[in-house]
Amino acid sequence: MKSPTPPDRRDTPPSAPASPKNRAKKPVALKTRKKPTVKKKKGSGKSGGLRPSAPIVPPQTVAGRALALVVAIMSLLACLTVGAVTLVWDAADDWQNDLVREITIQIRPIDGVDMLREIDKAIALTLEFPGIESVQALSDDETRSLLQPWLGEGLELDALPVPRLIQVSVSDPGLLNIQDLRISLEEQVAGASLDDHSVWTSRLSAMAGAVVLVGFGILTLVLGSMVLSVVFATQAAMAGNKDVVSVLHFVGAEDSFIAREFQRHFLVLGLKGGITGGLVAVICFVCIGLLTRNSAGYAGADQFTALFGSISVSIPGYVGVVAVVALVAFLTSITSRWAVKAHLRKVD
């Protein structure tokens, strides 16, 4: 193993004469000399025991750890918001689907008109329309049991002008033209009217839209707070690393290089925080799903399930979590780059 020669015994620099000509060719003209023997560390590889180049911006600082925690919390809140929005959206979608797949035809009794004939006519007419799965008129017994809570037992349907209902199941709401069906029924069947629950579906749609809008609002606020935190943290990091910035300046680093180094530092930090927050959110989703499944039978849980269906975040919710993590990392990195460049402009 060749030991290094201290300058007192070896004052000749390891380079060819530095005429401007050869200076332009190589930063350090060492190529003519014998390749140096480097003492390898135990277990070292081809790099002569050198570790992979460390990041220029020191990775572990108190401010950095605090920011990672802030980013993790913000990501968790953003992911939970996304999860809640998808949950409500899915529930509203289910309600809407159920309502859209069922319509009701009502035949009002009219003097001199045979109601049973009108019911048959309405059924035949409805079945001609595409997208219809089944059409079934409520029997006398079904109608009686429907009215029993209000009118009591032993009701004589013929004695009262009770409208009769026809239940229509829709197989494909996209194929069925409800407006055409309504017009046909009103024109061809005496006393017929169609109820397609459009009032309910439009209200549900408006509610789901409002929930999504509120969710986006919360998401924007959370991400906005995170961006501001990153701006302050970047300024703190710049102040804490002013020696690094100064050294980089005097070794000839351009502002874009310095900004890139800080951006890389904050990208890693944002990814760490984002992934941590996202993972915690996913664990929360799984736990809530398990809890609601295990608490089936309890009054509160049943009420909740009746309202929202099964409380489990769907695939779009998990995709949303991944998107939030990516967005958080992207925002952290872009914000820090912008803040560093602004700081460097001020310094100069």
Q: Segment near other proteins (CB under 8 A), from 37-45, 199-207, 278-286, 333-341?
A: 37-45
The correct pick among 42, 43, 54, 306 for binding other proteins (CB under 8 A) is 54
Least Å distance between CB 65 and other proteins?
A: 15
Stretch that binds other proteins, among 41-49, 134-142, 143-151, 289-297 (CB under 8 A): 41-49
> Does 11 contact other proteins by CB under 8 A?
yes
CB of 287 to other proteins, least distance (A): 40
Those residues with Cβ within 8 angstroms of residue 1's Cβ, 6 or more apart along the chain or in another chain? 37, 39
Decide whether 14 or 224 has the Cβ nearer to other proteins: 14
> Cβ closer to other proteins: 123 or 253?
253
Query: Which tokens is 128 given?
Result: 């001609």
Our finding on whether 214 is near other proteins (CB under 8 A) is no
How many Cβ atoms from other residues are within 10 Å of residue 229's Cβ?
18
The site that binds other proteins (CB under 8 A) totals a number of residues, namely 51
Residue 257 token pair: 């290089």
62 is a contact residue toward other proteins (CB under 8 A) = no
Q: Which is nearer to other proteins, 48 or 209 (CB)?
A: 48
Q: Interacting stretch for other proteins, rule CB under 8 A, among 22-30, 120-128, 227-235, 273-281? A: 22-30
By beta-carbon proximity to other proteins, the closer residue of 53 and 187 is 53
| Cα 119 versus chain centre, distance | 49
- Asked whether the beta carbons of 197 and 100 are under 8 A apart, the reply is yes
Closest CB 306 distance from other proteins, rounded Å: 59
Stretch binding other proteins (CB under 8 A), from 13-21, 229-237, 280-288, 299-307: 13-21
Site track 224-263 with other proteins (rule: CB under 8 A), x = hit: -------------------xx-xxxxxxxxx--x------
Query: What's the rounded Cα separation, in Å, for the pair 190 and 121?
Result: 10
Nearer to other proteins, 91 or 268 (CB): 268
Task: Give the span between the Cα atoms of 199 and 26, in whole angstroms.
Answer: 79
Alpha carbons within 13 angstroms on the beta-carbon side of residue 210 total: 6
Q: Does 30 bind other proteins (CB under 8 A)?
A: yes
> Does 38 interact with other proteins (rule: CB under 8 A)?
yes
* Closest by CA position to 49, among listed 59, 60, 37, 65: 37
Chain contacts with other proteins (rule: CB under 8 A): 3-8, 10-20, 23, 26-30, 33, 35-36, 38-39, 41, 47-51, 53-54, 56, 58, 243-244, 246-254, 257, 348
